[in-house]
Amino acid sequence: MIILLIMALIYTSWMIYLLRGWYAISVTSLTAAIPTQGITIVIAFRNEAPRIDPLLRALSKQDYPAALLEVILVNDHSEDLFEPTLESFSSFPFSLRVLALGDGKFGKKQAIAYGVSQASHSWILTTDADCTAGKNWAKSMMQHAETSGARFVFGPVAFETERTFLTDFQKLELFSLIGSGAALWQQGYPTMCNGANLLYEKSLVEDDPYALNRHLASGDDEFLMHQVYQQDPQAVSFAKNRETLVFTEPCYSWSVFYYQRKRWASKWGAYRLAHVQRIALGVFLANLFYALLPLLAFMSPVLIPWIIAIYGFRWLMDGIFIHEITRFYNKPFNLVRYAEVATIYPWYVVISALAGRAGKYTWKGRQVS
């Protein structure tokens, strides 16, 4: 009983720590100032033909001077027909280039690195091919960099989808990850970010931040952030601004969802920063603890009321945190759906972490080890 109470107290303290970090982040607002710095939007894609059209339509509406914005799409050996979609954007308002990753090079990291090397401007804005953003996205991210003095800015990402258990599961998890990453940065421990919404100086990738992890299919975002933080902790910043929100698509099948999470988890063992390693291990152990509680209830039924209370308190603390994130971005929070997701989440984290450490998987038609 004492051990259970201690673990519950530790977890509660952790969630309060994250909440304090989130509340402490200054909210930035978009001003009417005209941008003066050039941005190159770099997007790596593979087998994304159906998504190219909504992506370019969203980018064509960016409120940014045409001479200061260019878009570079880097084709990572796609096997579908995306060219007809590109031909329909002959009147694209900004400079639009489509590059092909050469033979012997593959993967998102090398595609982005190649796109950055060909960029005309000194600032790089990255997103994914299955994303869209509002018209003020580029401007608001650039304004945040200028006002904060940061050289690496990470922004929020959200889903706008139909309502199913799978899509709602991903929506709640993504808000939790975005909020946790921002809160930890505010507390001085940048850990997580999302490559679907990053702005950074072109010079930051000249030292090849992926030299030690190029073999991993994931991590193009976090490994770069970690390297920037090592060089200058003040250079990293989170843009807490509704205008910087990027929308992405979820996985629509459980098999694709499983392989995506397996890909994400595969990078955990390659983290180099001590605080990132400790946080990743702590998150795994905390969820392992909650996942094993039913076994403890089976072995010692007298503890069942305590175990139920501990589960309930975790639901409460996690729910408060996620609700605060969704509330800031004016997104709905379904309490019933949250309770369903929170119930199975500890087992999901444990399984994902273990799956990411072993075996091969297929992602976008390519087998990855």
Is the per-residue pLDDT at 207 higher than 90?
Answer: no
Q: What is the pLDDT of residue 212?
A: 58
The pTM assigned to this predicted structure is 0.91
Backbone angles phi and psi of 254, in degrees to 5 = -65, -35
Q: State pLDDT tens for residues 82-111.
A: 888 888 887 899 999 999 998 878 888 889
What contacts 289, CB < 8 A, 6 or more positions away? 7, 346
b (16+ CB within 10 A) / e for 82-110: beebbeebeeeebebeebebeeeeebbbb
Domain boundaries along the sequence of the chain: 28-166+189-254
Is the per-residue pLDDT at 211 higher than 70?
Answer: no
Q: What is the pLDDT of residue 244?
A: 96
Q: State pLDDT tens for residues 271-280.
A: 788 898 899 8
Q: State pLDDT tens for residues 248-267.
A: 998 888 888 888 888 777 77
Helix 165-186 with 254-265: angle, nearest 10 deg? 20
Token duo for residue 9: 């107290």
Is the per-residue pLDDT at 369 higher than 60?
Answer: no
- Determine contact, residues 94/60, Cβ cutoff 8 Å: yes
The percent of residues in the chain predicted with pLDDT above 90, rounded, is: 57
Alpha helices (runs of H) in the chain, residue ranges in sequence order: 2-24, 49-60, 83-87, 108-117, 137-148, 165-186, 222-231, 254-265, 274-299, 304-328, 335-355
| Full strand arrangement of the beta sheet holding 236-238 | 95-100, 69-75, 39-45, 123-126, 198-201, 152-154, 236-238
Backbone angles phi and psi of 237, in degrees to 5 = -150, 150
The neighbouring-strand residues paired with 237 are 153
Average pLDDT over residues 317-338: 93
Q: Does domain 28-166+189-254 have CATH number 3.40.640.10?
A: no
